[in-house]
Amino acid sequence: MDNLWTENIRKVEPYVPGEQSKEKDIIKLNANENPYPPSPKVFEAVKNFDCAGLKLYPDADAGKFKEAIARFYHIKKENVFVGNGSDDVLALSFQTFFNSEKPIVFPDITYSFYPVWCELFKIPYKTCPLGGDFRINADDYKEENGGVVIPNPNAPTSLGEGKGFIEKLMEYNKDCVVIIDEAYVDFGGYSSVELTEKYENLLITCTFSKSRSLAGMRIGYAIGSEKLIASLEAVKNSYNSYTVNSIAMAAGTAAINDKEYFNKTVSKVIKTRERVKKELRKLGFEVLDSQTNFLMATHREKDMKEYFEYLKTQKVFIRYFNKPRINSYVRITIGTDKEMDIFLEKTKEYLGRF
């Protein structure tokens, strides 16, 4: 029998991220990381970082870093919040804004961390089924809600919604906070940052992990009205004042200031994505029209779990979700052209053999 004290331990089912294999020479297309290194300006910033300064706490307000982000978006520093990856920013936002007795709502197929935070923070929630085409219907979010959270583009579907959709969502949800998770937006989605001036209850969360190749640095941020950002700051300062470390701020500032490199690498990923999408379709796959750095694909004649497992034996890691509605799909992160050529070669090999 367990000891009585174990009864008081919080029992949760954690989020499971894409596998980080220790194997060498694998082609890693399973965690939506960027295949390109960060900007050379980041290398320089980290190399020249004054380590002696690490004896001091970082600037708790992350003032200079927030200013750099604000400059990029032509907004004010007071409209920016920074955290330790957008998971950290989202978790804090759930705690800060979702305190109603009414359930918060999000799509049934979406980022699987949302229900995990709801369980952890005891936030009631309900899900709205995506349409048969995997699109989100704004009319499903009309009822009174305790809050709304939607990734745009959505993950793992890769599909994005436009300005009209967001405006509708905001019209329906005037009495709660609406969070739009824009982790993948830079790869071709519509960004609602421009709408944060119009809607005081709209919060956008973003990350340096995808389009800025800094997943290992753990930097995320939120953009919203001064009121929302001040509330986030207050909760953060009741929990951990120094979320973003000094090296991360130096690297993040260098990355956001290098627009040219950002545009170049994002374009490369998009170009490769479009090529791979066409190739997969030629091979008989159905592939959704992605606005992200990954593809969601299925094949009518093949078992996607078997395909995923075959690729793994060939050292090509993609993602398979054993979940209702999406268990006949795989999610493929876009790698370099060379990596994707190997992926396509192994895919052809699989189709010929099974």
Quick note: the x/- pattern for ligand PMP over 166-185, rule CB under 6 A, is: ---------------x-x--
Residue 247's identity, in one-letter code, is: I
| Cα 232 to chain centroid, rounded | 19
Write down the least CB distance from residue 92 to ligand PMP, Å.
12
H helix and E strand count, the chain: 10, 13
111 is a site residue for ligand PMP (CB under 6 A):
yes
| Nearest one of 269, 255, 286, 225 to 33, comparing CA atoms | 269
Q: Find the binder of ligand PMP among 109, 118, 123, 155 (CB under 6 A).
A: 155
Question: Taking contact as CB under 6 A, which single stretch among the options 83-91, 133-141, 195-203, 345-353 is the one that binds ligand PMP?
Answer: 83-91
The interface with ligand PMP within residues 6-25 (CB under 6 A) comprises none
Full DSSP string of 121-137: HT--EEEEPPPTTS---
Q: Does 248 bind ligand PMP (CB under 6 A)?
A: no
**Cα 103-107-108 angle, rounded to 5 deg:** 100
Cis check: omega of the bond before 17, within 30 degrees of 0: no
Q: How far is the CB of 59 from ligand PMP (least distance, A)?
A: 21
Is residue 189 a contact point for ligand PMP (CB under 6 A)?
no
- Per-position x/- string for 194-233, each x denoting binding to ligand PMP as judged by CB under 6 A, each - no binding: -------------x-x-----x----x-------------
Closest CA to 257 of 245, 267, 269, 249: 249
Q: Distance between CA 21 and CA 184 in Å, rounded? A: 23
Segment near ligand PMP (CB under 6 A); pick from 61-69, 80-88, 230-238, 327-335: 80-88
Compare residues 141 and 221 and give the one whose CB is closer to ligand PMP.
221
Question: Using CB under 6 A, which of the segments 84-92, 128-136, 139-147, 309-317 binds ligand PMP?
Answer: 84-92
Whichever of 155 and 249 has its CB closer to ligand PMP, that residue is: 155
Task: Provide the 3-class DSSP secondary structure of residue 14.
Answer: coil
H-run or E-run covering 202: strand 202-207
Residue of the chain from 30, 34, 79, 86 that contacts ligand PMP (CB under 6 A): 86
Enumerate residues 249-308 that contact ligand PMP by CB under 6 A: none
Q: Which of 77, 97, 79 is nearest to 229 (CA)?
A: 79
Minimal distance, residue 85 CB to ligand PMP, in Å: 3
Q: What 8-state DSSP symbol labels residue 4?
A: G
Query: Residue 95 in contact with residue 104, Cβ under 8 Å?
Result: no
For the bound state, the minimum distance from the C-beta of residue 215 to ligand PMP, rounded and expressed in Å, comes to 6
Identity of the residue, 85 or 103, whose beta carbon is nearer to ligand PMP in the bound complex: 85
Q: Are strands 104-107 and 125-128 parallel, antiparallel or unpaired?
A: parallel
Min dist CB 209 to ligand PMP, Å, is 3
**Strand, helix or coil for residue 47:** helix
Binding interface with ligand PMP (CB under 6 A): 85-87, 111, 151, 155, 181, 183, 207, 209, 215, 220
